[in-house]
Amino acid sequence: MTHTPAAPDATPAAEAAQEPAAVTVARLRAAFDTGRTRPLAWRRAQLAGLRSLLTEQSDAFLAALRADLGKGTAEAYRTEIGFTLNELDHTVAHLEQWLQPRPATVPEVFRPAEARVVRDPLGVVLIIAPWNYPLQLALAPLVGALAAGNTAVLKPSELAPATSAAIARLLPRYLGPEAVAVVQGAVPETTALLEQRFDHIFYTGNGAVGRIVMAAAARHLTPVTLELGGKSPVVVEPGVDLAVTARRIAQGKFLNAGQTCVAPDYVLAIGASAKALESQLADAVRELYGEDPATAPEYGRIVNERHFDRLTALLDDGRTVTGGTHDRASRYLAPTVLADVSPEAPVMQAEIFGPVLPVVAVPDLDAAIAFINERDKPLALYAFTESPQTKRRLTEETSSGALSFGLPVSHLAMPELPFGGVGESGMGRYHGEYSIETFSHTKAVVDKPLA
């Protein structure tokens, strides 16, 4: 990738005057009520505008992502811009087909009659984005909202201020004010938005705020999608190629310095694989980031000092296999693998969301399944095994938002797969046609002749 980032927009969010939340929502609702968002041509025009935004302003977004999270150019393009373009292009290619009314069978007693299922836009939707992938997780849901024929309020994360400012500055150049409004700010601005009546709220973040979003939505009986997180385990069985296994785990874990909702959170290594995996993980980190990851152009930084302090407090929860070095001034924390980790250690109690990977030894698959099922249902479950029986048992005996064998994180980038959690890891799903389902009302239509 040869993009050369330009300087990020340094204008503080507080300097940008914003209309009151009630005015913003009323304006978008008035636009929706005209019916202008329903035609396929309008939806395609908005998606074309989004595509132009991403392609023409990629340098500005790459610079903002580096300022916020230290993201390298190649990784930032692949996981933020390229990812969203892939989602967008897939939607454009299939949208007309997805919007076609679907015929339904009419029971004999009601004939002659016809029945069909149609997808109606919901109205005005609110998208609240997180800081870890602040461009992708703002614009990928917006693809679905606009494709389904809605207007939208987009609330970027204040913890990624450069990206938030870039979205607020650039998006209105490509999408009209009747389609999308960008609202910057922190808790007061989000609280004001949540007081309004929306037709759907899409939130990506943590469970604590997810509960606040649900409580606010309940006042208006607004449906919600919650994309949360959790501790996503990796099961490793003896007999697999540990070099390949370690490399793929490390790639998934240390992407974005571990600040990924579907990153492998911890490893359940069965039997002798626990000890054998240690050196392979250390080798994989060196292969990915060199002897000194602090100098690796594609290794990111922790988002802020509060999260840095939280993560470094976990470093004593096991024996350090590799990594452990850190610098608070630059928010650098090396890719770290911990062994001999107790299931009761603090590092095993909450989602790590950073570049610390605990390895927990378990005696057999039964113990691994029991370990997973005793805890909240994860957003993703990964396994490295050559056994069809193990794959069957993990599929049938565990519950998770997604299950992937041999390739962590990748399911997120497959637009024909639903992405979402279950239980504590979230509710609802999106990507591809699932986004159209999320941001539409599926309406039954019956038509019986009068004569």
- List residues with catalytic annotation: 227, 261
Distance between CA atoms of residues 215 and 238, nearest Å? 46
Which residue in 219, 145, 110 sits closest to 444, CA to CA?
110
Three-state SS string across the chain, please? CCCCCCCCCCCCHHHCCCCCHHHHHHHHHHHHHCCCCCCHHHHHHHHHHHHHHHHHCHHHHHHHHHHHHCCCHHHHHHHHHHHHHHHHHHHHHHHHHHCCCEEECCCHHHCCCEEEEEEEECCEEEEECCCCCCCHHHHHHHHHHHHCCCEEEEECCCCCHHHHHHHHHHHHHCCCCCCEEECCCCHHHHHHHHCCCCCEEEEECCHHHHHHHHHHHHCCCCCEEEECCCCCEEEECCCCCHHHHHHHHHHHHHHHHHCCCCCCCEEEEECCHHHHHHHHHHHHHHHHHCCCHHHCCCCCCCCCHHHHHHHHCCCCCCEEEECCCEECCCCEECCEEEECCCCCCHHHCCCCCCCEEEEEEECCHHHHHHHHHCCCCCCCEEEECCCHHHHHHHHHHCCCCCEEECCCCHHHHCCCCCECCCHHHEECCECCHHHHHHCEEEEEEEECCCC
Comparing CA positions, the residue from 186, 201, 188, 194 lying closest to residue 156 is: 186
Residue 144 to residue 433: CA distance in whole angstroms: 8
- 437 half-sphere exposure, CB direction, 13 A CA radius: 10
For helices 83-98 and 40-56, give the axis angle rounded to 10 degrees.
170
